Structure 1
Amino acid sequence: MAATCPSCLHENPVGTEFCEVCGSEIGCTSIEAPLPPIPVQITASSDATVATEIQPPIPQPAPPVPHPSPTITNSSSATNGVDNAKLISKQAGASISEFILDGNNVVVGRFDPDTGPVDLDLEGFSGDETISRNHAEIYYEGNQWKIKDLGSTNGVFIKRYGQRQFGARITIPEMMISRDEIAFGKIRFLFQA
């Protein structure tokens, strides 16, 4: 069996310590598996043949991954197994165009110094004077998105997908289906699940 040079892959006689062609140390004279070859480039000139190692390409850093624009969420949904849903504003020029719902109970209303903040604050939207402090609650229960009025002054209304007008004010918890339109007082959103 021949001793293969790890540099130039020349087959040398067994027991050879240095390659007959390039002079590299063979190092392995037993019947062990040969070392992986090192890529070489052989160049010839008028004086001699020269073997030089080919350097592997230098790895380039990966390009930066773009981050999505921030959205408002209540908390992490990774632990509760619920697919996120959204309320998308129907108002042109709204200060916040959408709210992400993650399955936790979300209180919709307006900030009040006495009762504090709410999860989904509609203050600053056109028509916010029709929003109660604790207007409604949106939650995920039994694999369904639901909404209930929390005793608001101006009510919660649902226009089902494909309907032409809103139904009567809701008085009991109602299921929400993707593409339903939800009105909190005069402020309207498209529900998307």
Structure 2
Amino acid sequence: MIKCQACGTQNLDTSQFCDECGDALIKYEAPNPPKSDTGTSETVIETPPPENPVFQAASVTSVGVPPVQGKDEEAEAEDDAGDDEANDIDRFKPHGVHANLVIERGQAIGTEFPITSEESNIGRWDADNGVFPDIDLDAHDAEAKVSRKHARILFKNGQYMVEDLGSTNGTFVNRGRRLIPGNPHILSDGDEIIVGKTFLRFQVVK
């Protein structure tokens, strides 16, 4: 039915003029609803946004930022770093000069022999027998009182030691008793070591 806008009379859908007043009738056509991809009409319903949207703050650690350390944790980390640094200082450096043996008597007085490894052998060079000591006293031992494999300087557990290797004329520290072969003797900075008839002074490089 079509309602006349002038008098309000209901007329048939096919009528063009009002049966009561003769006024022209205006047909109202509803807009076509939108079509979906399948070609069929569908009703689109828009959902209004919530009146009070709630936003949840993201955790700082969720984006990869580490949590802030407290003062106690920072102090503990600094202490650990200090301990590591101290251990590095105490740790043996195999490629650096960390001690010396210095000849104290004779024409070669003042001659230094650097100690650069955890084990340094003292003796006389003998190529025929394959003996190549780290500290070669052959040129400073005219009487050949130093054995080819006489003694060795060791560095273990933060301490320096000297050990006799079964030498003929013995090894002595600070004019004491002859060292027993195979028994390392702990050294201190400034100790005197006698191998055969060669007097040496042990010095720690500081």
TM-score (norm 2): 0.49
What does residue range 7-46 of structure 1 map to in structure 2 within 5 Å? none
Establish whether residue 170 from structure 1 lines up as the match of residue 179 from structure 2: yes
Shift of 1:95: 7.8
CA distance in 2, matches of 1:175, 1:101: 16
Larger relative helix fraction: 2
Q: Residue by residue, what CA displacement relative to the aligned partner does 1:39-61 show, whole Å, maximum 9, x if unpaired?
A: xxxxxxxxxxxxxxxxxxxxxxx
Shift of 1:116: 3.0
Poorly superposed stretches of 4+, deviation over 2 Å:
77-83
Q: Report how many aligned residue pairs link the two structures.
A: 111
Whether the 8 Å CA contact 1:135–1:149 is kept in 2: the answer is yes
**Amino acid paired to 1:98:** E
Q: Give the equivalent residue in structure 1 for 2:117.
A: 103
Shift of 1:114: 1.3
Whether the 8 Å CA contact 1:95–1:125 is kept in 2: the answer is no
Corresponding residue to 1:141 among 156, 161, 173: 156
Give the CA RMSD over aligned residues.
2.4
Shift of 1:115: 2.5
What does residue range 1-193 of structure 1 map to in structure 2 within 5 Å? 79-80=93-94, 84-94=98-108, 97-112=111-126, 113-159=128-174, 166-171=175-180, 172-193=183-204
Give the 3 Å change call, closer, same or farther, for CA 95–117 of structure 1 in structure 2: farther
SS in 2 for 1:91: coil
Structure 2 unmatched runs, 5+: 1-90
Give the 3 Å change call, closer, same or farther, for CA 78–179 of structure 1 in structure 2: closer
SS in 1 for 2:118: coil
**Amino acid paired to 2:165:** L
Percent identity, aligned pairs only? Answer: 32
CA distance in 1, matches of 2:95, 2:137: 27
Give the 3 Å change call, closer, same or farther, for CA 96–123 of structure 1 in structure 2: farther
TM-score (norm 1): 0.52
